[in-house]
Amino acid sequence: MIITPACVLFDLDHTLSDYDHDLRVRVLAERVGVTPERIETELFTSGLERDCDRGLYTTQAQVDELARRLGVAVTVEDCVIARATSMTPFPEMIELVRELSGRVTLAILSNNGFLVRDNFAAICPVYADAFAGRFHCSAEFGTLKPDPATYVACAQTLGIAPERIFFSDDMAANAEGALAASMQAQQYQDASKLRAALIETGLLPG
């Protein structure tokens, strides 16, 4: 039996918005005065970003640790601007979110650290109102998608049973993790396929 969702839960990068990793690295490098290779090494290859996704650093602690590793001054603003510049919201997803607003609870579950959650309105302003107070990141829960525990913890935070949540993520493994947590789920391919799935649940008119 198909259950009409009470919540549509989205991934962020490559689902609601395109994300250009290389551009983020270049912008941050320019702002703090180091080479892109240094940013790539100290933030990503080192595992610092992954540790942030696991909740091991607060926003300020992440920035301070990156500054220590680089040996230069780094601000939260530097990191936020670099992240915001790297993102281009998909126009068709902006429209779908607008259509869903008022019909159902909208939320985000992203493998990200507190920096993105705490600064979401500045990083992705077009979605700020629709997801206000309902941007959830893996750092909050200490686990990463596709671990089913991540989805269960998010559902508990939202106060909605997993069975009443429809999850969309561009990565097949993450959609499968949501299914394992008893959510409804679809791997995101494009807005038209997601819309068709939501029509099938009865959430949108056909």
Q: Crossing angle of helices 191-200/91-100, nearest 10°?
A: 20
Structure tokens belonging to residue 111 = 């493998």
Asked if pLDDT for residue 128 goes beyond 90, the answer is yes
Domain hosting residue 174, numbered range: 7-18+88-200
The domain boundary, picked from 85, 110, 139, lies at 85
pLDDT per residue as tens digits for the range 133-192: 999 999 999 999 999 999 999 999 999 999 999 999 999 999 999 999 999 999 999 999
Residue 184 inside a domain? The answer is: yes
CATH number at residue 61: 1.10.150
pLDDT (mean) for 102-130: 97
Query: Is 105 in a helix, a strand, or coil?
Result: strand
Same domain, 69 and 159: no
Same domain, 105 and 51: no
For residue 104, what are the CA distances in angstroms to 1, 99, 132, 192, 204? 19, 10, 14, 18, 10
This prediction has a pTM of: 0.96
pLDDT attached to residue 1: 67
Same domain, 192 and 112: yes
Residue 2 inside a domain? The answer is: no
Same domain, 104 and 195: yes
Q: What is the mean pLDDT of the chain?
A: 97
pLDDT per residue as tens digits for the range 83-97: 999 999 999 999 999
Confidence of residue 2 (pLDDT cuts 50, 70, 90): confident
**Phi and psi for 18 in degrees, rounded to 5?**
-75, 155
Asked if pLDDT for residue 26 goes beyond 90, the answer is yes
Asked if pLDDT for residue 206 goes beyond 90, the answer is no
**Per-residue 3-state assignment (H helix, E strand, C coil) for the chain:** CCCCCCEEEECCECCCEEECHHHHHHHHHHHHCCCHHHHHHHHHHCCHHHHHHCCCCCHHHHHHHHHHHHCCCCCHHHHHHHHHHCEEECHHHHHHHHHHECCEEEEEEECCCHHHHHCHHHHCHHHCCCCCCCEEEHHHHCCCCCCHHHHHHHHHHHCCCHHHEEEEECCHHHHHHHHHCCCEEEECCCHHHHHHHHHHCCCCCC
Same domain, 71 and 35: yes
Strands (DSSP E) along 60-193, which ranges? Answer: 87-89, 105-110, 135-137, 165-169, 184-187
pLDDT per residue as tens digits for the range 31-61: 999 999 999 999 999 999 999 999 999 999 9
